[in-house]
Structure formats: C-alpha cells, structure tokens
Amino acid sequence: MVKLRRHSTLEPVAMVGIDPSSDGLSRARGYGLWTAAGGIDALLMSEAFRDVDIVFDATSADAHMYNWARLQRTGRRVIDLTPAAVGPFVVPTVNLEEHCAATNVNMVTCGGQATVPVVAALSRVTTVHYAEIVASISSRSAGPGTRANIDEFTVTTARALRAVGGAQRAKAIIVLNPADPPVIMRDTVTALIERTDDAAIAGAVVDMVEAVAKYVPGYRLKQDVQMVDVPPGDTRRSLAGDIEGPMCHVTVFLEVEGAADYLPPYAGNLDIMTAAAVRVGELIAADRAEPQRVSL
C-alpha cells in the first residue's frame, strides 16, 4: 500500500483483510482507501469493486485459490504474491513482458524473486545442470501466511528455478532465523554449470544484481562470485546426472535489505515481493492513459 501510494500510474483505492483490528486496515482508512475485514467476498459485493482494475493478492496459497475462484469471472487482472502458482511465474528482470497479457500472474516467492534472476543470469552464459538456493529470513518477518506455506515455498521456488531460471534440476530451502536482533534476509545460490569463462560468469551475475537493485534498492551481492572446478569423480557431479565434461561449482551470496516502508529493514523478504509485484503492475498499466486503480 505504501509503495502504491507513491506511484504515478497505480492508484490504491481499496484494501481488504480478515481482521477488523488490523493496523494495516486502520492505516488504509486513514489514507482514504475503502476498507473491509470480510475478505474477497466483501470486496466483490461492494460498489468500490467497480473502481478496481488490478487486484494484488498478498494472502496465502490456500486463500488465493479461494480468491481466484471468485475473481476469475470478473475479468480483473490479478497479481498473486502467494506461492499458489495458479498463473505463470513472473520475475521482472527475467521475463517481465512474456506474460503481461495473463489475467493471473504469480510472483513465485521471496526466495524466488531473489535467486531466480541469478540462476537465469548463469543460464544465459552456460548450461546450469543443477541449482540449489537457501533463503534465510528473520522469523519476525514470517507471518502466519508464510509459516503455513513452507511446503508451497520449496516446491514453487524450485519449479521457478527450472521454468524461469533455466536450471535443469533445482532445490529450494527456507530457514526462519529466530536471532535477536533480527537478521536481514540472506540468500545463497549454488549451481553446477558447464565450465566457461570466469569473467563471463561473474559479469552476468553482477549485471543481473544491478538490474534487480533498480526496483529493490536493498538487493546486493555480499561477496564476489565464487567459482571452483569440479573434477571427474567428485560426488557433486551426481547432482547433475551423467555429465563428463568440465564443470564448475558457482556460489553466490546475496542480501536483501527492506526499504522500511512499514516493517523494519530486516524484512527484505516482504520488500522484494511487494517491489516486484509493483513492477509488474507498472507494466500492466503502461499502455493505459489513466492511472490503474488497485485493490489489495
């Protein structure tokens, strides 16, 4: 909501939740938005829905299935911030324009938005036989929806690493870190790739990180890209299948610091999701003369 209020072509007009005492709904009312605590059904039955062109769904995977069943027949564009993966995966720096006509687009997961771009960058210069990511987030930034969707997170992120990132095989892991003070989101990408020029590998990753940082300013590399040859007989080769040629083990360490629009900077997992979703909303609105009115 805060990001959208600053936007020139996306105008928030309604915010819907399920908790009447929600601080978010209270703030939305203070900003002059139409609000309701009755979920999607309350929005659909309201006159306010007539003013909505785009719906951002930031609930949970199960809730999105319910919401989409009701929204699908309305013709509204839906940007899904849950790991329900009903619509095609969209990662702005990789395939932003590919699915711009889809009625429902999926933003994968926070870990997916942080790591799929790196795997895609590697795929542009060589073959990625296997990719594995570990997303570590503060437990304070993991609400009920995140905690209920751990399984969906791992499955959806791994699918996106293949479908969008280009990896032949993939695995995703999420860690909820209880440290106090809370830790900033960290992501580690490891990949087994066909050996190629080191400068090309590192350059592709650096260029992609800079591209993501244009809409997620807190997204950055923590170290130089690490590359180690994987000799014949190394057990890591089993992850890539029966590959006999020269191989390299690449490791990329990332950090995502939130913009502190609402939650503190440690909540980079939520910031990268909302920033990516707004970026997709921009594309949807790009060919329209007037601001697009949105509901959350």
What whole-number distance in Å separates Cα of residue 4 and Cα of residue 261? Answer: 11
Tell me, yes or no, whether 134 and 213 share the same domain. Answer: yes
Can 110 be counted among the known catalytic residues?
Answer: yes
Residue 45 C-alpha from the chain's centroid: 30
What whole-number distance in Å separates Cα of residue 122 and Cα of residue 128? Answer: 7
Tell me, yes or no, whether 177 and 238 share the same domain. Answer: yes
217 labelled binding-site residue: no
Tell me, yes or no, whether 221 and 81 share the same domain. Answer: no
Per-residue pLDDT of the chain (296 residues; tens, 9 = 90+): 999 999 989 999 999 999 999 999 999 999 999 999 999 999 999 999 999 999 999 999 999 999 999 999 999 999 999 999 999 999 999 999 999 899 999 999 999 999 999 999 999 999 999 999 999 999 999 988 899 999 999 999 999 999 999 999 999 999 999 999 999 999 999 999 999 999 999 999 999 999 999 999 999 999 999 999 999 888 888 888 777 789 999 999 999 999 999 999 999 999 999 999 999 999 998 866 567 788 88
106 labelled binding-site residue: no
Tell me, yes or no, whether 133 and 252 share the same domain. Answer: yes
67 labelled binding-site residue: no
The single residue of 4, 55, 85, 110 carrying the catalytic annotation is 110
**Residue type present at position 276:** A
Which helix or strand (DSSP H or E) is residue 279 part of?
helix 268-285
Tell me, yes or no, whether 32 and 66 share the same domain. Answer: yes
Closest C-alpha to 111, from 172, 24, 37: 172
199 labelled binding-site residue: no
Structurally, the chain folds into a number of domains equal to: 2
165 labelled binding-site residue: no
Query: What angle is formed at CA 259 by the lines to CA 175 and CA 93, rounded to 5 degrees?
Result: 75
What whole-number distance in Å separates Cα of residue 153 and Cα of residue 36? Answer: 28
What whole-number distance in Å separates Cα of residue 85 and Cα of residue 65? Answer: 9
Tell me, yes or no, whether 94 and 65 share the same domain. Answer: yes
Residue 274 C-alpha from the chain's centroid: 8
Q: What is the pTM of this model?
A: 0.95
Tell me, yes or no, whether 278 and 197 share the same domain. Answer: no
166 labelled binding-site residue: no
Tell me, yes or no, whether 237 and 99 share the same domain. Answer: no
Tell me, yes or no, whether 78 and 178 share the same domain. Answer: no
What is the pLDDT, as a whole number, of residue 289? Answer: 57
Domain region containing 6: 2-107+272-295
